[in-house]
Chain A
């Protein structure tokens, strides 16, 4: 199965580097979608089927925390797996997000090996 991936980060470099990391794995990807903030990410979700979301926390317009609240309150997307990719690594923040349904919390920088492990953990083995 090939996946539809949404990458949400205000840095175009981060989005490109994550795309590049995906390219260094054998994860089958059907489509990549990018958004520079939570508001645009919601627009992408309205128009596209997304299997997994990689999400930054600190973004202008709509940050990652608000985005998570919005999708978790919407039946259309409340089951869509979300993986946080952030530089902020406090245990408290991590635990709060994981309790709120985030599937994994990755500290930047993310290596291709960690990406593969995370996808397999979140979407199941054989990804």
Chain B
């Protein structure tokens, strides 16, 4: 069933249990994010049998990233988190989400490697191509928008 897609299930678990955020579903479109704020993408390549099979991406803005960093580090305020810290937290979120998603979707038997975790700022105009993807889920996490999407060749979730 669509609303039980393993990416959605895993994202909810990671946001609530690992990132300790309160989440609500969010329909992802170009109005979901603030066009006056930088947009960040965390992504990680998924390899299986040494072949690049896909990638998972997360989109978020600074407000989300500061809360994420603050929750993980136990900082008193999101403003106490440095840019380096919140970007590192975002990269790690990509790592945690992808690893847990692959296992949720394909079980323990699939041998996979996660490579090239990266965080970058992307032009706001790039949001459109994420919105149009087949598998994309949005949330407000502590009132800040975040979207997750993945693409995988050969192996269908």
Q: A14-B92, A16-B73, A93-B111 are in contact. Are A88 and B99 (CB under 8 A)?
A: yes
Would you call A92 an interface residue if the criterion is a C-beta within 8 Å of the partner chain's C-beta atoms?
yes
Complex Cα spacing A13 to B82, Å: 12
Would you call A37 an interface residue if the criterion is a C-beta within 8 Å of the partner chain's C-beta atoms?
no
Q: A13-B85, A13-B92, A58-B113 are in contact. Are A87 and B99 (CB under 8 A)?
A: yes
Would you call B89 an interface residue if the criterion is a C-beta within 8 Å of the partner chain's C-beta atoms?
yes
Cross-chain contact of B88 among A13, A86, A88, A92 (Cβ < 8 A): A13
Complex Cα spacing A16 to B75, Å: 12
Complex Cα spacing A16 to B92, Å: 12
Count of chain B residues with a beta carbon within 8 Å of a chain A beta carbon: 29
> Quick one: which of A92-110 are within 8 Å of B by CB?
92-94, 107-109
Chain B interface, >50% SS class:
helix
Cross-chain contact of A13 among B73, B98, B114 (Cβ < 8 A): B73
> Quick one: which of B82-114 are within 8 Å of A by CB?
84-85, 88-89, 91-92, 95-96, 98-100, 102-103, 108-114
Q: Give the interface size class of chain A.
A: 20 to 34
Complex Cα spacing A13 to B81, Å: 11
